[in-house]
Amino acid sequence: MQPHLLSIATTAPPIVIGRDDVAALALDVFGAEAERMAAIFANSGIDRRRSCVPLDWYTRPHFWAERSRLFVEHGLDLACRAASLCLGRAGLPNDAVDAVVAVTTSGVCTPSLDALVIDRLGLRRDVARLPIFGLGCAGGILGLARAAALAKAMPGARVLVVVVELCGLTFRPNDPSKSNIVATALFGDGAAAALLSTEGDGPALTAWGEHTWPDTLDVMGWRVEDDGLGVLFSRDIPALIRAHYRSALDGWLDRVGIPFGSIDGFLCHPGGAKVVAALEQSLDLAPGTLEDERAILREWGNMSAATLLFVIERAVHRPLPRRCLATALGPGFTAGFLVLDN
C-alpha cells in the first residue's frame, strides 16, 4: 500500500521585504563587505520575501533567549495556520490526525514543535510524534519521506507533516562573513503542511531515498555561536551539483528500479538562481525548464525546508505530470529524492 498526498498548504508571515530593502540593510549593517558583494543581491533571482519581524529588527544584536521566544511565537502560529489549511483542503477535522512530523532547522524548542502543534490545535492525545531538526534545505523532502515511511507502516493512518523555517531570525549583524551576507541575500520565512495516508486520493509517493557524500560536512550548516546560529556555506554548491548530483541520482534510481526516462517532470528545491541552473544542467533540462522553482524563489526567497513544499503546492494545482521526481539538497551534504506518481 502506497501513501498518497491527500493535501498540501503553505503560508508565510505578513511582512514583505523587497530586494532593494535587503540590499540597503546589508550595506548599512556590513558596510564595505556588503558593497563588495552587491552583485549577490542583484543576481539572487529574488524580488521579495516574507519576514516575521520588521526590517529594523535586523539592525540590532539579538541573543538566544529572544530568538527562541520569537521562533516559538511566530513558528507555532505559522505551523498551525498551514496545518489548518491543509486539513481543510482534505475535508478532515483536527481529530483525524494520527501522527505529526515536524521539521525545522532555524529554531530550537523543547517541547518540540510537534507537541506545541498538538496542544494548540487540540489534536488527539494518542497522536504519534516525530520532531526532525538539522536537515536544512533538504528537510522538506526528507520530512515527506519520513512521513511516507510512517504512513506505510501504519496503514490508514493520517500523517500530518508541518515544516516551519524562520530563517530571518538567524541573522547576525555582527558577522560580516561571506556566508552570512549570502544568507542575507537568499533567506526568507515560511511554513507548509502536507497530509499523507495510504487511504485516499492524490499523488502516490512510490519511492524515496537519499545520498550523503563523504567529506562534505563543511558544505553547509550552522555554527552555534553565543548570539545565535552562524550560517556556513564553505564550498561552491552549484559546482558540486554539476559534478556529483546526477551520478548520485542515477545510482538511487537504479537501486529502486525506476528508469530516468520514465520521469515526466522535476520538482526541485530552489536554493538560489545558480543552484536552479546547476540542477537543470545535471538533469539534462533546457535552460528555463524549472520555471516554477524560479517563480517561488522570486516571490518568496529561499525558506530552507519549506521551499520545496511551496514548489509542490504550485505544481499539484496544474495538475502534476504522470511521474515527478522531487529533490532537494541540505547539510550532510545530502540529496533527498522522492517520486510522485499521479
User: Measured between alpha carbons, how far is 292 from 109 in angstroms, rounded to an integer?
Assistant: 33
The reported pLDDT for the residue numbered 318 is 85
> Is omega for the bond preceding 333 within 30 degrees of 0, making it cis?
yes
**What pLDDT band is residue 1 in, cutting at 50, 70 and 90?**
confident
pLDDT tens digits for range 196-231? 999 999 999 999 999 999 999 999 999 888 888 888
Mean pLDDT of 311-340: 95
pLDDT at 17 over 90: yes
Residue type, 268: C
pLDDT for residue 316: 93
pLDDT tier for residue 34 given thresholds of 50, 70 and 90: confident
Whole-angstrom distance, CA of residue 138 vs CA of residue 209: 12
Peptide bond into 111 cis (omega under 30): yes
Mean pLDDT rounded to a whole number for the chain? 95
d(CA 295, CA 278): 16
Model pLDDT, residue 38? 87
Is 137 in the active site? yes
Calculate mean pLDDT across residues 156-179. 94
β-pair type (15-18, 204-212): unpaired
- Distance, in Å, from the CA atom of 192 to the CA atom of 161, rounded to the nearest integer, reads 8
Residue 85 or 230, more confident: 85
For the chain, percent of residues with pLDDT exceeding 70: 100
The DSSP 8-state label assigned to residue 14 in this structure reads S
Q: How confident is the model at residue 62 (pLDDT cuts 50, 70, 90)?
A: very high
CA dihedral 60, 65, 66, 71 (to 10 degrees): 130
The Cβ of residue 122 has, within 10 Å, a number of other Cβ atoms equal to 9
pLDDT at 249: 98
Question: How far apart (Å, rounded) are the C-alpha atoms in residues 69 and 293?
Answer: 32
pLDDT value of position 230: 87
What does the DSSP assignment read for 137-155?
Answer: GGHHHHHHHHHHHHHHHST
What percentage of residues in the chain have a pLDDT greater than 90? Answer: 86
Please name each of the domains of the chain with its CATH number. Answer: 4-197 (3.40.47.10), 204-341 (3.40.47.10)
Residue 31, classed as helix, strand or coil, is coil
Least confident span in 5-14, 177-186, 307-316: 177-186
pLDDT band at 236 (very low <50, low <70, confident <90, very high): confident
| Active-site choice (137, 167, 268, 324) | 137
Question: Does the structure show a pLDDT above 90 at 158?
Answer: yes
For residue range 103-157, what is the model confidence (pLDDT) as tens digits?
999 999 999 999 999 999 999 999 999 999 999 999 999 999 999 999 999 999 9
The answer on pLDDT for 295 being more than 80 is: yes
